[in-house]
Chain A
Amino acid sequence: MVDANAPSGSLGASAPSASQGLSFQNLILTLQDYWSRQGCVILQPYDLEVGAGTLHPATVLRALGPKSWKAAYVQPSRRPGDGRYGENPNRLQHYYQYQVILKPNPKDMQALYLGSLAAIGLDPTLHDMRFVEDDWENPTVGAWGLGWEVWCDGMEVSQYTYFQQVAGMDVDPVAGELTYGLERLAMYVQGVDNVYDLRFNDDGASYGDVFLENERQFSAFNFEVADVETLKRQFEDMVAQVSRILEHRGPQGQRLALPAYDHVLKASHLFNLMDARGAIAVAERQSYIGRIRDLCKATAAAWVE
């Protein structure tokens, strides 16, 4: 039992404050360095709009099949419906996730993960770290796994999942996936309450300097300007493309799963944009999600071949 309000001589010495803690970019560099030392391939972000770091082919597709794979990367996540015109201190339509995939998951994966938190300055003897049940599921890619939300002093800082299925297929060996919400983690480490106040580097640039204008413009586009008819047409085009691409074979006779998957991602983003515009009726929603899932399944099946 602890009375948090009791005076204590050591208080403040290690409290996060605006003058302490890693800058946003140093936080990323630290994670890159840490996971690089664990033998991960350090990838660059995928060059398409995705709603979550998991959707990067390095995770979704590489989770399947028998091959071992260790990778880590930063991935911008686009969630058009989460835009708030730069006016909400916690919500963004574009933000960063740090993604780690270890297949098969090592026996000491939890310890490795906690090591990464220590590397960015979160001391588990000062902060309350918990693994709180959270079963992950992504119906659009037919994937699920068991794991936790990781809490630091009541704040969710990561998602930790043992992938069991992707695209309806068993993940064997099992892949362990870590997703860090980078802005949130940085806010915690730096002790700021508004994402735009984050120190981006140690030379005076703030997160707001870099991204506030993007949030304003894209919020306006996502909610007001994006043309629904065009989006619908493009969505149908992408769907048609996936089927067409999967009919073709590459120089070694392989199915063209990777280009097909790019088009699945595009279709998925187009759906998210239509959704943000309020153009998806509740009744249509399941049907759209079902179509994307089917494309994803077909693509994943082609990949496993």
Chain B
Amino acid sequence: MNKKVIFVLKGIGLVLILFVALFPLFWMFITSGKTMTELLKIPVTLWPEDFTFQSYYEVWVQKPFPQYIANSLKIAVVATVLGMIVSSMAAYGFAKFRFPFKRGILMFVLVAQMFPSTSIIIPLFSTYRSYGLYDTHVGLMLLYTTISLAFSVWMMYGYFRGVPKELEEAARIDGCGALKSFIHVILPISKPGIAAVGVYAFMCAWNEYLYSLILLTSEQNYTISIGLSRFITEFGTYWNQMGAASIIVTIPTLVIFILLGKNLIEGLTAGAVKG
């Protein structure tokens, strides 16, 4: 085979792969630009006859969607910041100190992320009710910090173990305590790892569905996931609004992923290369 044929075949393969990954989202975008009358047509039109942003207006102004976004953003930001602090502290503890049961605790952290959320939610529901955390954002912030924690701790643990011991010893000689050398020496050089943890934690919190479905009841507290799922059950036929809402909800994820996605991919795959 000559080079040209291979080049063309690769091009076709690439287009196919990207089509499968991205087209569904693009189809939502096309749908969001249609009018209600056009949506009722069979067969479905492949391109809006008259692209309109009417459904975005409806979602944004007539429905409490900005409220949902504000709620989700608030919860996700707090959970992300908390998650970054807590997970990097824990990972540092695991990477740099010797203590009893370390291996066992590490294994526990690893297994904790495999617990089915549908099981945990049942006792949590009654616990949250009795401690006044039910239908509050604080309750969700704590929970969302926790669900990404196990993964984040392992990711940072890998990072910190790669930091040369000499760096820290130098800091110790200069009179830094454990906490000081952690903040001034280790954290600054681990920025890519912390970014990866941040992206992961944000996505977990922003995308989460089950916990907010169970633990929130009042409409003014709803997160985007609940807001979106209500579109399907109550306004099942308004696919243009559903499309607009989906696109709006995906934008923050997209922006963060474009800016920091490289870090996340590196963090996720750091463990894959060895072994």
Does B bind A?
no
